[in-house]
Amino acid sequence: MLSAALLFGAAFAPESVLNIGQAETVNPVQFPKTTYQTTAVLDLRSGAGTNFKSILKIPAGKTVLSAERMGNWYKVSYVYTNSGKNQTATGWVNGGLKEYYQYTNMKGTYYITNKQSSLYPTPDTKQKEVYRIAADNGLYSTQKVVNSIGQTWYRVSFNGKNVFIEGTNVNQSVLKTFKSTTYKALKDTYVYQSHGNAYKKLVKIPTGTLVLSDRNIGNWYKVTYGGKTGYFYKSDFSVYTPPVEVKIPVATTFLVSADLNVRKIADWSAASLVVLPKGKIIIPTHKLSNGWYKVTYSGKTGYVPGDYVQEVKTGDPLTSRTGYQFVDLRKPANVTAKQIDDYIASYVKLTKKTSVLTEKGQAFIDAGNKYGVNAVYLAAHAIHESAFGTSLISQGKMNLFGFGAYDASPYVAAVRFASVDQNIEYIAREMKTTYLNPENWKYKGAYLGFSTKNLKNARVNENSEGMNYYYASDPLWGKKIADHMAKIIGFNSSHYAAVIANTIIPEAPSRPAESDIFPNHIQAVAKKDLVIYEEKDGEPLVDPIKKGTIFLLLEKQNDFWVKISVDENIYWTKDIKFDVYNQFMLVANLGRTTGNPLNVRTEPTASAEKIGNGLALNTYVQLVLKEDGTPYMDSTKKWYQIKLDDDTTGWVSASYVVRELK
């Protein structure tokens, strides 16, 4: 529907007075076809002068088209109705015209600029532009204007003013709604007051921020952020795809390496729910495809970035510090020898194995009382380390605690004892002077405790405590011993609250004068220069054994002095570190039996004749070497050839021989 016609521009001068039959002697002027409206009744003449014939009269308020004039005379086309049909009359009129603009009210419509555009105070370019805006800015219009030269313009509101933009500078758009979607900022950007960057900036959106939107106009998306509602530009964002959550195996533990916000979603821009303190051990439930972890802390479930947590193995119970794992081991136990013996006997009965701990309950109580060490702990420690007194080290060396053993050389390095009772008393005294002695460097608390290790098995010092800090490589060592203690006799908090810790520190024990004697002709090669002595504790010789030297390994003593032979000369060395023995030497042909007894046969077959009565468990044996220095085996690689002390050769099953220090 047309509104009341608004006419822009001044009316033309009244018709000039001319002599009849004369035309104005001016040159015609061509101009763009323009729509005019008559301001009075006008004579339409056949020429540009009053002397020309009058064709018809054009009423006031009618529209005509013109593209040529001569002075005040305009050549016009006038469309009128005659007998129900449209007729067009063309001729000349003298003045009485003004430019005609057609205004049409319309339903509110969105438009997006398709290039840099000017906004004018009128729907033409006759006046100076009011604003200039970039492409891809949105405008809203409820009125269309076709101006006198046929251009379509739109009236829009911008910065509180009604202004006009030419229709060729915009494309129509619509407001679209869609399912609420999360978008992530690709760079620092802004929320604008309306749908375009020509509008006021309301609030900054930092890179990585997640926002929600459910409607758009062109490339401008509506958003509420920081308490402000406006629009963001789509190209500054990407659709955020939530990372995939994968369930983590139960009880996988992680260490927090910095004070860390637990966020509502797995993104740096998300709101913080709670702060995880540095050094905290957590158990995430899920790992996300973007490297974040889902955790619950202080009653809040959220997400933390993987860059600030590392997977660890820990014996930390993560709850309370109660029970045997944290009891002061200098406090006496309320246990009987029978309770210890019964626990060991139940294992022996179940497994049918022989145990060197059978009926040794009283030995633990006596040693505990003598040195002020908890007897239940002593028994549980021995049980754990020796598999209830059935391990090869306990049976071969009477060493129930793995004392002196290293992961690299557990049997050879382990200290040898003359008896189980000697070993129990020694360890009780040793523990009291070291791990349970606040003045000793090994002291990290007078309780079992736990350790924490990263996946490279390096200890995390800040999350390790108690004996487990130094004693064992297994982070769960303290917990495992505490479990044995609880099975011997349940934990009684009232008892331990009532008794007093024994803080008397005895003198450190001397290692028993025991040693490992190796068979004849056990060959070794030095991996680095080794300092040698003619006598233990004497002065070192000037010339060490050079790297690459082949020597015979004769004896390893409990104090880790090693007796060797080079060119039939006997020497001692203490250079060999058995936790990394392969940095110092490699042994070619030392074996140890694990059968009880292990049959020696004349041929590499179980049906061959036996030689002697067999070799006892944990007997060191000399493996026969080939010319290339490797042990001689049969064609099936299931039998070793060995040489006995009397130089007799025979064959033993490789399944029951462990090669040591190879």
CATH, range 324-498: 1.10.530.10
pTM of structure: 0.68
* C-alpha to C-alpha distance for 42 and 60, rounded to whole angstroms: 7
Q: Is pLDDT of 467 > 80? A: yes
- Token pair recorded at residue 468: 């487990």
Cα torsion for 83, 85, 88, 94, to the nearest 10°?
50
pLDDT digits (tens, 9 = 90+) for 174-193: 999 999 999 999 999 999 99
Mean pLDDT of 492-514: 96
pLDDT digits (tens, 9 = 90+) for 325-360: 999 999 999 999 999 999 999 999 999 999 999 999
Looking at residue 322, what DSSP letter applies? -
- Token pair recorded at residue 546: 């050079």
Identical fold at 245-314 and 515-587? yes
- DSSP code per residue over 219-240: TEEEEEETTEEEEEEGGGEEE-
Percent share of the chain, pLDDT over 70 = 96
Choose the CATH number for 175-239 among 3.40.50.2300, 3.40.190.10, 3.10.20.30, 2.30.30.40: 2.30.30.40
Strand 6-7 and strand 210-217: pairing? unpaired
Helix (H) or strand (E) holding 412: helix 410-413
pLDDT digits (tens, 9 = 90+) for 27-76: 999 999 999 999 999 999 999 999 999 999 999 999 999 999 999 999 99
Indicate the domain borders of the chain: 1-168, 175-239, 245-314, 324-498, 515-587
* C-alpha to C-alpha distance for 275 and 295, rounded to whole angstroms: 12
Cβ atoms of residues 573 and 545 within 8 Å? yes
CATH, range 515-587: 2.30.30.40
- Token pair recorded at residue 602: 């004349």
pLDDT digits (tens, 9 = 90+) for 396-413: 999 999 999 998 999 999
Question: Euclidean distance between the first and final Cα of the chain, in Å?
Answer: 103
Mean pLDDT of 379-387: 97
Strand 237-239 and strand 63-70: pairing? unpaired
* pLDDT on residue 318: 87
**Superfamily for the 245-314 domain:** SH3 Domains (2.30.30.40)
Helix residue ranges, H only, 269-401: 337-351, 361-371, 375-386, 392-397
* pLDDT on residue 25: 60
